[in-house]
Amino acid sequence: SQKIEQNSEALNIQEGKTATLTCNYTNYSPAYLQWYRQDPGRGPVFLLLIRENEKEKRKERLKVTFDTTLKQSLFHITASQPADSATYLCALVSGNQFYFGTGTSLTVIP
């Protein structure tokens, strides 16, 4: 069965630094991978999508990489701000089923 793991449950970084979150998957060959942000008590919000033939995708301070050989995606937030504090989920899609990773809770310390 598919397994999607994200690095450390919790990540604390200083404001202004770059946060790097990891998503590793096994037993799966996704055509694309997505990243979502979830605030406490709210539904996840879509951030970025990267296709298997794309190495890197950027959106403002966000950057996603996708290495299908390593079966890994990295999610970077540059110049982090306290407002970036949230849980970040990666998601793989098969047909119309979305499989979410375990999530990483990011705290940006002022």
Partner 1 sequence: DTEVTQTPKHLVMGMTNKKSLKCEQHMGHRAMYWYKQKAKKPPELMFVYSYEKLSINESVPSRFSPECPNSSLLNLHLHALQPEDSALYLCASSQASGSGIDTQYFGPGTRLTVL
Counting DSSP H helices and E strands in the chain, the numbers are 0, 11
DSSP 28: -
Under the criterion CB under 8 A, does residue 42 sit at the interface with partner 1? yes
**Would you say 21 and 11 are in contact if contact means Cβ atoms under 8 Å apart?**
yes
Phi then psi for residue 107, to 5 deg, are -120, 125
Give the separation between CA 96 and CA 94, rounded to whole angstroms.
Answer: 6
DSSP 17: S
Contact mark string toward partner 1, 2..41, x via CB under 8 A: -------x---------------------xx-x-x----x
Nearer to partner 1, 19 or 23 (CB): 23
Which one of residues 19, 25, 44, 108 is an interface residue with partner 1 (CB under 8 A)? 44
For residue 99, the cross-strand partners are 92
Taking the complex as a whole, how short is the minimal distance between the CB of residue 54 and partner 1, in angstroms? 12
Q: Which stretch binds partner 1 (CB under 8 A): 13-21, 54-62, 69-77, 101-109?
A: 101-109
Helices (H), the chain: none
Which one of residues 11, 13, 49, 74 is an interface residue with partner 1 (CB under 8 A)? 49
List residues binding partner 1 (CB under 8 A). Answer: 9, 31-32, 34, 36, 41-46, 49, 51, 89, 91, 93, 96-103, 105
